[in-house]
Structure 1
Amino acid sequence: MGNKMSSFYCLFIFFFSVASSTLLHFDVSPFLPLFSGPKLEIEGFMNMYHNNTIERLDDDIVPPSSTDPKTSVKSKDVVISPQNGVSARLYIPISIPTLQGHKLPLVIYIHGGGFCSGSAFNPIYHNYVSSLVANANVVALSINYREAPEHPIPAAYQDSSSALRWVAQHSKGGGGGEAWLNDYVDFQSVYLVGDVAGANIAHNVAMWAGQEDLEGFMLAGMVLMSPFFWGKKPIGEHEPKEIQIRNLVHTSWYVATGMKIELDDPRLNPIVDPNLSKLGCTRVLVCVAENDRLRDRGEYYYKALGKSGWNGEVELYETKGESNVFQLREPDSANSHALLNKVSSFVNKHA
């Protein structure tokens, strides 16, 4: 069991080396039923202690770049919602001023981290989004949403939805004040892209967009990489059936939701959602990895969406021999480059 659990950790998380951690005081009493010792570990993301101390494991942040020497991408930080402290990092390729009026797709990137860790501003995501912008020749907005347990779900959904609404306001011509969006973005080609928890958020934002009045604005599509979907009962061949291992995922979700949302809620288990056909975009790419314990959830989502009556095109892309978010752990590998090219091609199909 110990070897299986260690294997599961490696497949479910990717923050293998942490440059720093942050301590904060927070009432952990709602989570005491989850404790089995002196601390509660959300493995790779945070530790909770009985003395109301939380240790968030994360990486240092990096500043935006006037010109990234590796990718030739420019970036700057923008404020989405001053009231909630929601911000984002905006990226453009440096070649964009020479395009003479040709506008580019916009990727709205939503980072992973178990809903409780990670940042749009840490090196992992800054470098990955820069690489995506350079490879796909797109504009990107990487959202820095509020995190659990201080801000439990649905805060991450609300923050990311507010970022989409902020983008939509720019599509009206003069409705938004960010010049990089107004000058360079083709608002007919806006895509949500996310990994693991970020992919879960992307799906839920697209569900919101499908039932919200955005005054004519519509998402073009969505890319879900190793999406964090789950449920009370195991499915498929890859998902663990051992209760001790499954409880690790259950704990992560309960901490993310403040113990208030169950495992078969459609926000975590969208294949049971009777409203799945209302997904607010017309193209979806689901990316899974063969050795990822979340693989089957991605495949089941792909099948459920295709059968739901949703009026769109969904595609499943599987990388053989890889595990969870390999593209972030080994961005220079051949498989990571192949995935990057696949995502780049997808977001440029209608550009």
Structure 2
Amino acid sequence: MKELLGILRVFEDGRYERIEVHTIVPAGIDPSTGVNSKDAVYSRETNKSARLYLPKTATPNHKLPLLIFYHGGGFVDESPFDTTYNDFLNLVVADSNVIAVSVDYRLAPEFPVPIAHEDSWEAIKWVAQHANGKGPEPWLNEYADLQNIFLAGDSAGGNLTHNMAVRVGLDTPAGLRFRGAILLHPYFWGTERVGTEADWMSPGLIDSVNELLALAYPGRSGMDDPLINPAMDPRIAGILCSKILLCVSGNDFMRDRTRNYKTLIENCGWKGNVEVVEDNEESHVFFLKKPTSKNAVTLRNRISAFINSA
């Protein structure tokens, strides 16, 4: 038996189990922020839902920016209904005064990549059903400014955010306008080491990332599949939004990948602007683990400023 990145236990007979036990919480009014939430099915075919969040300041006559959020978990774990992500979205929505759609997508290995990406796209198409103000979800009809949309996600959700930003550049759903993308410690990978990875990454860590990805994406074209390694995707110059907020942590095992993404995106011909936030002493997705810490609060303030400066 081996453990992969603290996410999966994999047994010699091929069985696997998720390590972390999650606490699922119901939607409703959060007592600390006043943010209200509810769940809505975005795909009848797959029966997948999203959790919607509405700040207490919302009024029907004042449209708010829309944040479409994708959770992390290496494509194999986590949920928008878990207390960790529910608490985080309550804070982000309260701080940024946005309406949010936190997307549940099918997880590997049961549903291997690119199913997570297809579900993520289905959620965007569902949002587009509200462009005429007559969609199935009243909150989106009444409160969401669909000309002011932001994509966001952490870790694997950061990967989904990037890939959705590329996809909307190729096929923008009618009635939607995407203003920016927020990549929080995004999960990218590749065959070749980048930055300083060769200096500090142990063979064991590299093998764990490789093995986890092989479980999540068994049909991949190697570790350099364009969905995983953006350097191999010739379409990235077509990212539709005009700005990206890229968040890095100094003790994150993905830090060199994130910094390399900045270089890649600036040199690919894309005409937008990349803003980088670095927390030198923090680890991967620290803002989920320590939501009240000074650096987590500062990061949420940067997210708010990024959204509301559009």
TM-score above 0.5, yes or no: yes
Partner of 2:24: 61
Query: Which of 226, 241, 247 is the aligned partner of 2:185?
Result: 226
Partner of 2:40: 78
Q: CA deviation at 1:40?
A: 4.2
Q: CA deviation at 1:51?
A: 4.8
Query: Which of 301, 317, 323 is the aligned partner of 2:261?
Result: 301
Q: CA deviation at 1:279?
A: 1.4
Q: Distance in 2 between matches of 1:260 and 1:300?
A: 22
Q: Secondary structure at the match of 2:148?
A: strand
Partner of 1:211: 170
- Map 1:7-156 → 2, pairs under 5 A: 39-51=1-13, 53-57=15-19, 58-65=21-28, 67-97=29-59, 101-156=61-116
Q: TM-score, structure 1 length as denominator?
A: 0.84
Q: Distance in 1 between matches of 2:202 and 2:280?
A: 24
Distance 1:63 1:341, change over 3 A: same
Moved more, 270-279 or 120-129: 270-279
| Contact 2:75-2:216 within 8 A present in 1 as well | yes
| Contact 2:5-2:209 within 8 A present in 1 as well | no
The structure with the larger Rg is 1
Query: Is 1:252 equivalent to 2:209 in the alignment?
Result: no
Q: Distance in 2 between matches of 1:301 and 1:266?
A: 13
| Contact 1:254-1:261 within 8 A present in 2 as well | no
Query: Which of 177, 191, 213 is the aligned partner of 2:136?
Result: 177
Distance 1:41 1:259, change over 3 A: farther
| Contact 1:234-1:241 within 8 A present in 2 as well | no
Distance 1:53 1:250, change over 3 A: closer
Partner of 2:152: 193
Q: Distance in 1 between matches of 2:18 and 2:249?
A: 27
After superposition, the C-alpha distances for 1:251-277 in whole angstroms (9 at most, x for unaligned) are 111111125341111211102322210
| Contact 1:290-1:322 within 8 A present in 2 as well | yes
Query: Which of 339, 342, 349 is the aligned partner of 2:302?
Result: 342
What amino acid sits opposite 1:48 in the alignment?
V
Q: TM-score, structure 2 length as denominator?
A: 0.95
Q: CA deviation at 1:77?
A: 0.5
| Contact 1:285-1:315 within 8 A present in 2 as well | yes
Query: Is 1:287 equivalent to 2:247 in the alignment?
Result: yes
Q: CA deviation at 1:215?
A: 2.1
Query: Which of 233, 238, 255 is the aligned partner of 1:273?
Result: 233
Q: CA deviation at 1:205?
A: 1.3
Q: Secondary structure at the match of 1:217?
A: coil
Distance 1:346 1:119, change over 3 A: same
Identify unmatched segments of 5+ residues in structure 2. none
| Contact 1:93-1:133 within 8 A present in 2 as well | yes
Q: Distance in 1 between matches of 2:66 and 2:173?
A: 17
Q: Give the total of aligned pairs.
A: 308
Moved more, 251-260 or 192-201: 251-260
Q: Secondary structure at the match of 1:170?
A: coil
Q: Distance in 1 between matches of 2:141 and 2:221?
A: 38
What amino acid sits opposite 2:117 in the alignment?
Y
After superposition, the C-alpha distances for 1:244-299 in whole angstroms (9 at most, x for unaligned) are 22111111111111253411112111023222101132211110012212112111
Q: Secondary structure at the match of 1:126?
A: helix
Q: CA deviation at 1:96?
A: 1.0
Query: Which of 298, 321, 343 is the aligned partner of 2:281?
Result: 321
What amino acid sits opposite 1:59 in the alignment?
H
Q: Distance in 2 between matches of 1:73 and 1:56?
A: 30
Q: Secondary structure at the match of 1:124?
A: helix
Distance 1:255 1:122, change over 3 A: same
Q: Distance in 2 between matches of 1:199 and 1:112?
A: 7
Q: CA deviation at 1:52?
A: 5.5
What amino acid sits opposite 2:68 in the alignment?
I
Distance 1:270 1:52, change over 3 A: closer
What percent identity do the matched residue pairs reach?
40
Q: CA deviation at 1:173?
A: 3.0
Q: Distance in 2 between matches of 1:327 and 1:275?
A: 31
Partner of 1:35: none
| Contact 1:120-1:142 within 8 A present in 2 as well | yes
Q: CA RMSD in A?
A: 1.6
